[in-house]
Amino acid sequence: MRKFLGPDKYQQPEDDKRVQQELRARGKLPHHIAVIMDGNGRWAEERSLPRAAGHQAGIASLRDVTRSSRELGIGYLTVYAFSTDNWKRPKREVSMLFRLLVKMLRDEMQEMLENGVRLKTIGQTSLLPKSVQEELNRAIERTSKNKGLTLTLALSYSGRWDLVRAMQAIALEVRSGKISPEDISEEIIRSSLTTSEMPDPDLLVRTSGELRLSNFLLWELAYSEIHVTKTLWPDFRREHLYEAIREYQTRERRFGLTGAQLKKNKDDVSPEHQSYVEKLISKITRG
């Protein structure tokens, strides 16, 4: 089984470079892509394999998506690796998942360092086995100064948990008199979430054809474009990611405005100010 980010001396093929150039030429790329990686178990069952085989095969998909995202210049990639509900799975499967995670972190560290990939996590990582916490902390520390793609693993994560946690923190601020209830705003809520240091996702990709958010980034996905594919996660590769990005580039992101308003606003801006306005809008919508 090939590894995640590639101690196999990976080199990007020239034809793939051309595809990526075409994507850049088509339009604006998403700055932050979130992925619900679904279908590992189903993939294994369809092949009469143990579920562990599906999870292991899914690592190859994560490797390829991470590589291609980095090559495209995507700033943030956030993947739903283990939800709070996943604790309900058989203990043997959960234990195997964490062993795979530790092995992946060790195997792929060198390429993450060589290519500027910064690792982060969100979720209740204090609930993970001690050995997993230690391996994650080492990987996060070693990649903390990298300036390229930020790869965030959502581990023991729940969107509702994060919102409850944020509300509790804000309530303590109110009780201590640091802020009043009237001061509570979207920005204060956003700054209290574990995702406060990253922009909201521009694009959400969900594999295996399921049409639900599964308690993932509930606040942050408010204005994200959603791409659903029937492809199971272990079969998902960069060509599927490119398909999602192409679809994203055809969407008109209105943020509550009408299409006519967007066009008028764009037409009213002089060419010399267009890039400045686009940057300003991007900064506002991404927090």
Q: Which of 15, 16, 38, 268 is catalytic?
A: 38
- DSSP-derived letter for residue 213 is -
- DSSP-derived letter for residue 269 is S
Active site includes 86?
yes
- Largest Cα–Cα distance in the chain? 61
Q: Which of 8, 40, 85, 86 is catalytic?
A: 86
Contact 35, 78 (CB under 8 A): yes
Whole-Å CA distances, 20 to 8, 38, 70, 245, 263:
22, 25, 11, 11, 28
Question: HSE (CB half, 13 Å, CA atoms) of 92?
Answer: 3
Q: Please tell me the distance from the alpha carbon of residue 72 to that of residue 282, in angstroms, as a whole number.
A: 19
Q: In sequence order, what are the beta bridge partners of 119?
A: 151
Q: Output Rg (C-alpha) for the chain, integer angstroms.
A: 20
User: Catalytic amino acids?
Assistant: 38, 86
